[in-house]
Structure 1
Amino acid sequence: MADPKKVLPRFQFDVLGALEDDYINDILMKMNQNSFSQFPVYNTTGSIIELINTNTVSRWLSSNLEMEGTIMTEKTKIKNLIPFIEFKSNYKFISRNTSVYEAYSLFIDQILEKKRNLDVLFITQNGRENESLLGLVTIEDIAPEINVDK
């Protein structure tokens, strides 16, 4: 293909995330309001340190059940969820000029090599983790974008 579609502008949007010292209540409300299932966790310098998803939240919630079935989320920080991530650093960074086919291949390669899905591809200007996020792609997002000649 001479000029394949790029990940931007198709997957460009403001990425909602949280600082590691933010409280869990705030991000849970954002997840519910915006219907998203994962979010990046930033350190104080703005670099991504991890990715939290609904599975992580579920594991954290179940480990914090009290005997009577209540869960206290008050004053719980995002960093308290990090130990409950099943597959740490299960994401990659790609540049804004990455084609949708190259991005799709990264997901497929991860499945073939590690026998599990890659959670997300973070899009930055040059594919570097210290750059601002321009968007993100999941395998569910990109699969419909791939035209396979039969």
Structure 2
Amino acid sequence: MTTQQVTIELPEPIFRQLVRIAEATHQPVEALVTQSVISNLPPFTENAPTDIQPELLRMQTVDKDELKAIAYAQVEPSDRERHLNLLKKNEEDLLTAEERQELTALRLAADHLMLRKAYAWSILRWRGQRIPPLQDLPVSL
């Protein structure tokens, strides 16, 4: 892997902490800085479906409140109920062609919502925000 050199200025306490960790773990400071940068970057959007990539990239520029709104978003109760009904009907192999398309659309919408939520949380974490424990997040039944 080719590397590029970047010069950054760190506050003295952070640099001293890096040096202490480097000495304690017998690693170069550069390796710790590289590891820190890699582990704190938001996920790449290239692995997401192409139709949602622009929205994910835009999320990197929105404010904390908008990100939290995305992170806490829920599937509309009516959509959730319809999705569950269609899933049950699908188990019984009773779906019409239209209902099969509707089920697919509802699944994709739910998948995209979950992807947007996860990405919003990753950006919030990247910006230093506390991420609540899973048990503190709202659950939709």
Q: What TM-score does the superposition give when structure 2 sets the normalisation length? A: 0.28
TM-score (norm 1): 0.27
- Which one has the bigger helix percentage? 2
**Larger radius of gyration, structure 1 or 2?**
2
